[in-house]
Amino acid sequence: MKVRVCFHNQCFDGTASAAVFSRLFLERISQKAEFHYTGLAHRAGQLFDEGLFDGEENAIVDFKYSSSPQLTWWFDHHQSAFLTEEDAEHFKKYTGGRKFYDPTYRSCAGWIAHIGETQFGFQTESLKELIHWADIIDGAQYPDAKSAVEMKEPAIRLGLVIEASPSPEVIPRLIRELTFRSLSEVAALPYIAESFDQLFAEHQRAAEILRSRAALDSRVVYFDISEESLETYNKFIPYYLFPQAVYCVGVSVSKDRAKIAVGTNPWNPTRKTRNLATICERHGGGGHAKVAAISLPPAERAEAQRLGLEIAELLRRDFR
Ligand SMILES: [Mn+2]
């Protein structure tokens, strides 16, 4: 039986959700299932390609709802799970008992396990570790900056591969492994270890650049890497380097934009009174209260540097 499983691509929870769903399906629905995996990404316009739901059973996990009559299973936990009001209405009228939504769940993998246990008699014992880490990584609830940056845990290593591997074959392959094997076994597989080593070397280079460029003053880290060739960096590195930091302001330039990124240290218990989204909105940016950014055209490096310093000064006032 051909089963198409569509999952949130390049996301640890999306990958874990596909594995938990596959196991549930094999154990409680049909042992004859042959899985075909498709990663889905958020984008402007049509989310689901024509002909995507080509299985006898078609599932979406950890991703938006589709009102397609071919869709037979759906699990999600995102706040914004419905693209349109019509989709939300369509789901409300559904009574088939195979589409499930709960935005209070930390991870979709945990949500699938819960429904599996309570409605399908599914034993989830061997998947507990996978679900535990999906909860941590999807909710950005790392215990500390050290674990997020040093990446010693097998789950965090897999997380880096899932989020950053350029190969489209890696995640479907990983899902098949995670359906039956432990995280440490999967992280030790040669193709995963190799991919991790490569990505981790880039991550370390980013950490070195930030170490040389960042400075802490009055509980605010400021760094300017606009002269460096660094496409991305792990946003927890500054708090790893400076645990006393409460806020961080970073200026970077890529070929598409000059960016001022403003963040809050999630592990520093100091009370944070500033809404970073509001601060960034004043300059045409936005985001969340605790993480926000402003984007300018790539040529406006000097303006980005000026704004970055200005915002850092503003945040420092709280601690002087
Ligand atoms: Mn998720």
Structural domain spans, the chain: 2-195, 214-319
* Alpha carbon of 307 to ligand 1 centroid (Å): 34
* Alpha carbon of 317 to ligand 1 centroid (Å): 37
pLDDT reported for residue 264: 95
How many angstroms separate the CA atoms of 61 and 41, rounded?
12
To the question of pTM greater than 0.85 for the whole model, the response is yes
pLDDT reported for residue 84: 92
Confidence category of residue 255, pLDDT binned at 50, 70, 90: confident
How many angstroms separate the CA atoms of 284 and 280, rounded?
7
Domain 214-319: which CATH class?
alpha beta
How many angstroms separate the CA atoms of 264 and 277, rounded?
11
Higher pLDDT pick, 257 / 217: 217
* Alpha carbon of 269 to ligand 1 centroid (Å): 26
* Alpha carbon of 12 to ligand 1 centroid (Å): 8
* Alpha carbon of 122 to ligand 1 centroid (Å): 21
* Alpha carbon of 108 to ligand 1 centroid (Å): 5
Q: Does domain 2-195 have CATH number 3.90.1640?
A: yes
How many angstroms separate the CA atoms of 72 and 247, rounded?
45
* Alpha carbon of 17 to ligand 1 centroid (Å): 8
Segment 248-257 mean pLDDT: 93
pLDDT reported for residue 288: 84
% of residues, the chain, pLDDT over 70: 100
* Alpha carbon of 35 to ligand 1 centroid (Å): 20
pLDDT reported for residue 138: 87
